[in-house]
């Protein structure tokens, strides 16, 4: 298996800063802003974006994490026994400008499942999407509003986001 570095830790940090600024441009004052990271790597990316937004706004936007395994339309194809993680949404979803955060957007199926899951918690004013990497190849008409890096890769290649859950270390690699 071949591996090629796509983003270094410094590149990831710049992309996170860019995403945070894009979110602020779309949500001017940040007053009703909420971030929800999609398990697992989306939560790590969301935490980093949340730190940047908190520093810029001087106040922490609402933050949560979401497990979408049971909302996926392909869960039975992946495993007969999906591993369910914790969903933690400690704020009222109604009337928020909610930003779903994932590490990589590919087919759009994860995001569709995340939107279904969020609606079970309430009705946000808007649902926006931020992704660290957009690798193309959509099966559903879903596009990120804020993206760190867009890359075009072959169908048999894979983007892997390797992040330290507690720190700023990490890298994005292309595997073929």
CB 7, CB 174: distance < 8 Å = no
Which domains are assigned to the chain?
Answer: 3-175 (3.40.50.2020)
Residue in 117, 111, 158 with CA at minimum distance from that of residue 131:
111
Q: In which element (H, E) is residue 55 found? A: helix 41-57
The contacts of residue 153 (CB under 8 Å, 6+ apart) are 135, 136, 137, 159, 174
pLDDT value for 165: 85
Section 107-131 average pLDDT: 97
CB 71, CB 123: distance < 8 Å = no
pLDDT value for 34: 98
Question: What confidence category does residue 1 fall into, taking pLDDT thresholds of 50, 70 and 90?
Answer: confident
Distance, CA of 46 to CA of 42 (rounded, Å) = 6
Asked if pLDDT for residue 3 goes beyond 90, the answer is yes
CB 132, CB 103: distance < 8 Å = yes
DSSP 8-class letter at 73 = T
Average pLDDT, the chain: 92
Asked if pLDDT for residue 113 goes beyond 80, the answer is yes
Which range (28-32, 93-97, 128-132, 147-151) has the least confidence?
Answer: 28-32
pTM value > 0.85: yes
Number of Cβ atoms within 10 Å of the Cβ of 84 = 11
Section 113-131 average pLDDT: 97
Residue in 127, 149, 137, 108 with CA at minimum distance from that of residue 13:
149
Q: In which element (H, E) is residue 57 found? A: helix 41-57
Section 127-137 average pLDDT: 97
């Amino acid at each position: 298996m071949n591996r090629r570095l796509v983003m270094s830790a410094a590149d990831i940090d710049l992309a996170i800063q860019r995403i945070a600024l894009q979110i602020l441009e779309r949500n001017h004052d940040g007053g009703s802003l909420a971030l929800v990271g999609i398990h697992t790597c989306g939560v790590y990316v969301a935490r980093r974006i949340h730190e940047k937004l908190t520093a810029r706004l001087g106040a922490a936007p609402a933050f949560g994490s979401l497990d979408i395994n049971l909302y996926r339309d392909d869960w039975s194809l992946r495993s007969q026994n999906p591993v369910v993680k914790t969903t933690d949404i400690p704020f009222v979803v109604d009337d928020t400008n909610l930003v779903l955060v994932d590490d990589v957007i590919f087919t759009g199926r994860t995001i569709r499942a995340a939107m279904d899951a969020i609606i079970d918690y309430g009705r946000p004013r808007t649902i926006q999407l931020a992704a660290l990497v957009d690798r193309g190849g959509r099966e559903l008409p879903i596009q990120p509003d804020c993206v760190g890096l867009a890359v075009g890769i072959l169908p048999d290649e894979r983007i892997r986001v390797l992040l330290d859950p507690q720190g700023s270390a990490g890298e994005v690699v292309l595997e073929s």
